[in-house]
Amino acid sequence: MIGISTFLGALGLAALLWGVKTGQFDDQSKFIDAARFDNEEELRDAVMMEKKQKERKEKRKKKEEYMPPD
């Protein structure tokens, strides 16, 4: 029994270390957004705004990459 419990403890520790190493616990905005956006409509609006911001950044990046022909 001690061997099995030691093995399971080591397996749990390995899983925890793997999760920390791969960034499974790095979602800091999840809890903040859950408190800030109480209902689905506010959350949907926030997601839409974030999507628009990403599109603007991509559009701005494409403008900077544009070079007129010589």
pLDDT tens-digit profile of 34-53? Answer: 666 667 787 788 889 899 99
Place of tokens 């070079």: 67
For the chain, helix (H) and strand (E) counts, in that order, are 3, 0
How far apart CA 29 and CA 35 sit, in angstroms, is 10
In the predicted model, residues of the chain with pLDDT beneath 70 are 28, 30-31, 33-38, 66-68, 70
Smallest CA-to-CA distance from 51 within 43, 39, 40, 61 is with: 43
43 burial (CB, 10 Å; 0-12 / 13-18 / 19+) is middle
* pTM (whole model) above 0.75: no
Q: Which amino acid is at 63?
A: K
